Every structure is written in structure tokens, then in C-alpha cells.
Amino acid sequence: MNVLSRKISFHDFEPELESFREAVLKGLSRRQKQIPPKFFYDEIGSQLFEAILEQPEYYIPNVERDLLTAYANEISRLIEPGSVLIEPGSGSCEKVQLLLESLLPSAYVPMDISREFLKQSACGLSQKYPWLAIYPACLDFTQQMLLPHGIPHGRRVVFIPGSSLGNFDPPEVQHFLSGIHRLTGNGGGLLVGVDRKKDHSVLNAAYNDTAGISAEFNLNLLTRINSELEGNFDLDRFEHRAYYNDQRGRIEMHLVSSQVQQVRVSGQHFQFTKGEYIHTENSYKYSPDEFITLANASGFRLIKMWSDDLHLFSVYFLEA
Ligand code: AVI
């Protein structure tokens, strides 16, 4: 444990970073080329993602913020003060700030794989909320969900805003929710924001903003491969594509080759036909019934759901 300040106890679980090289070489060798979305988030990718959150078409942050603000008191009555609030993939720790003053947790455990970002966010949070005991945990929450030693006793409540669950494929999301159930134990809670199925044009616009930030975010993966893995992707020969796949209930993001070409990465060569693509992300959308069924199968029961008037997004509070 590393004490960053009187109220911050930093725990480094030393996440094993799945090698970017291994994942890219393996993914590009598959019949359907693919690269897992977690590799979007290098420094530039994280900045581009922050910029996506500001795009008018990407409704998720605004709708969720309005819901959390409007129902903060109601949420806090269900959670009760003194809980231990745990946030996997906490990033900039922005959303939790909408709740802290009404929830009054005894401790907050932000979890993130990005060590420096986690430290900075925890320090910023501590300055704003000097009363809050913070136990940042550096780990890859998709691989392990461990709690730091020394956290206070209290009801454990996991907070997953931003529809992050949507980026897991169905078998993984079930596994992840079951892991959360084990972490909170019976009586624990899960407060989660989930994007809903809706008019396809709204979904398609959210992942194809007119400012082109989503496209830059997607293409940055190739820039990252070029700089970190001695790649020679020509960004003018690949196009961003994102569309709602109705059958699968998900937005799919692809990088589409606009011509026949060969690309070199770490000394290996990969052929692309015209129109062939690298599958870079899925973002699943759930109707309330679908999500509640999924949560039930992992041992959670619904306590309350809040939605906006247009039924774009829902926040759920579930009990383990
Ligand atoms: C992080 N995640 C919830 C975002 C989403 O909507 O699936 C990632 C994203 N990809 C493109 N735009 C946003």
C-alpha cells in the first residue's frame, strides 16, 4: 500500500497488461480480423474518448447525468450512508461526484488500469472531498476484481456508469456480473447505467458524430499500432464504420479497408481485400426486460429503475 495523502491509500495490484503486440498480431491473423476495444485507450485515445463524451449526438453522458442528479436523493435513501462505493473503470471519477454528497460513503474504491490517471483522479477528488477516504486500486477489472486491504466494513455497492457493461459480449457480461456479486456479497448493491435499444438513427448518429471524433477515436488504434508496434497502416486507406446491428442488438465499430493492400506490423504481413474490415468494438443495447433478466441470472434483483422521458437510457439499482 502506498499512502498518497492522509485520505488516499493507493493499492497497486500490478495488472498483467495483455501485450498489445500479442493481441494485435493474434487479432489480425484471424479470419475475421479483430482487435479488442480496451486497446483504444492510450493517452490520445483516452483524450478522444473524453471528446466523444462532449459530442451532441452522443447522448449517454447528458442523459445519465440528468438521471443521477434528479434521483441522487432517492438513490441515497436506497443505499444509505456508510457504504463502500466501488467503481470499476473509474477513469476521471466524474460521475461519482454527482452522488458523493448525498450518498456519504465511508470509502470510495476507484479501480482503473491506468496507474497515473488513477492517481491523478484520486488526488483531484480528494481535494474536492477532503472528508472522503479513497482506496484507489490499480487493476484490470476485466481480469480481476480485488479489494484493497484495510477498507472499512460496510455495505459494498458497485457503481458502473456510462453503459460500460455494453462493451462486454454476452457470455463475458454474465461472468463479470457474477464476479461483482461475489465481490459485494449478499445484501450488496449494484448501481449501473445501461444504454437502451431505441430508434436506429439515434444510435447510428451517436457513433458517427458530425465532428468526426468517433472516427478519429477508431482510427487512432491504427496510429497506435504504427507507433508502438512498428506498423505501416496508411490511415487514408481505412475508414471508420459504425452501425447498429439489429439482429445482435449492438453497435458494431469497424475499420474498413478501402482497397486491396498489405500492411506490416512487427515484421509480420497482413493482407486486406477491398471492403475487408477489422472489428474493433461492440456496444450492446438492452431493453429493461433484457437487462433485468441478465442481472437476475447473476444473482441480482431489481430494486428500482430510473429512465428519461424519451427512454434513451436507464439507471438501475439492484441488490445482490
Ligand atoms: C465506453 N463505452 C461505453 C463507449 C460505448 O458507447 O460503447 C465506447 C465508445 N465507443 C465509441 N463511442 C463510445
Q: What is the ipTM of this complex?
A: 0.99
303 Cα to the center of ligand 1, angstroms: 26
Identify which has the larger pLDDT, 223 or 144.
223
- pLDDT class for 94, splitting at 50, 70, 90? very high
Tell me if 91 sits within 8 A of 117, measured CB to CB: yes
pLDDT, one tens digit per residue, over 45-88 is 989 999 999 999 999 999 999 999 999 999 999 998 999 999 99
* pLDDT average, residue stretch 87-106: 95
Q: What is the CA(283)–ligand 1 centre distance, in A? A: 7
Q: In whole angstroms, what is the distance from residue 211 CA to residue 2 CA?
A: 42
Share of the chain above pLDDT 70, in %: 98
pLDDT at 23: 96
45 ligand 1 Cβ < 6 A: no
Ligand 1, closest atom to CA 163? 3
Q: Which atom of ligand 1 is nearest to the CA of 283?
A: 7
pLDDT band at 19 (very low <50, low <70, confident <90, very high): confident
207 lines ligand 1 (CB under 6 A): yes
The answer, yes or no, to whether any atom of ligand 1 lies below 6 A from the CB of 90, is: no
Q: Give residue 260 CA to ligand 1 midpoint distance, Å.
A: 29
pLDDT above 90 (res 138): yes
Mean pLDDT of 262-285: 98
Q: Whose CA is nearest to atom 4 of ligand 1?
A: 164
Q: Is the CB of 162 under 6 A from ligand 1?
A: yes
- Of 4-8, 17-21, 110-114, the range with the highest mean pLDDT is 110-114
CA 242 to ligand 1: nearest atom: 11
Range with the poorest average pLDDT among 61-65, 138-142, 180-184, 284-288: 138-142
State the pLDDT confidence band at 43, using cuts at 50, 70 and 90: confident
Backbone φ and ψ for 173, nearest 5 degrees, come out as -70, -35
What pLDDT is stored for residue 148 in this prediction?
A: 94
Neighbours of 33 (CB within 10 A): 19
DSSP state of 134: B
The predicted pLDDT at position 17 comes to: 74
pLDDT at 173 over 90: yes
> What residue owns the CA closest to ligand 1's atom 2?
164
Q: What is the pLDDT of residue 273?
A: 98
Does 1 have pLDDT greater than 90?
Answer: no
Is there an atom of ligand 1 within 6 Å of 114 CB?
Answer: no
Centre of ligand 1 from the C-alpha of residue 190, in Å? 20
- The verdict on the CB of residue 194 being under 6 Å from ligand 1 is no
81 C-alpha to center of ligand 1: Å?
A: 31
- Separation of alpha carbons 153 and 146, rounded Å: 15
Asked whether 91 lines ligand 1 (CB < 6 A), one says: no
pLDDT value at residue 113: 86
Question: 315 CA distance to ligand 1 centroid (A)?
Answer: 17
Tell which residue, 160, 214, 195, has the closest CA to residue 45.
214
Residue 161 has pLDDT above 90, yes or no: yes
How does DSSP assign 250-311, residue by residue? EEEEEEEESS-EEEEETTEEEEE-TT-EEEEEEEE---HHHHHHHHHHTT-EEEEEEE-TT-
Q: pLDDT by residue (tens digit) across 117-129? A: 899 999 999 999 9
- To test the pocket of ligand 1, the residue of 63, 167, 216 to mutate (highest count of ligand atoms within 8 Å of its CB) is 167
pLDDT at res. 5: 67
147-160 burial by CB neighbour count: b if 16+ within 10 A, else e?
Answer: bbeebeeebbbbbb
Does the CB atom of residue 203 touch ligand 1 within 6 A?
Answer: no
Q: Tell me, what's the pLDDT at 165?
A: 96
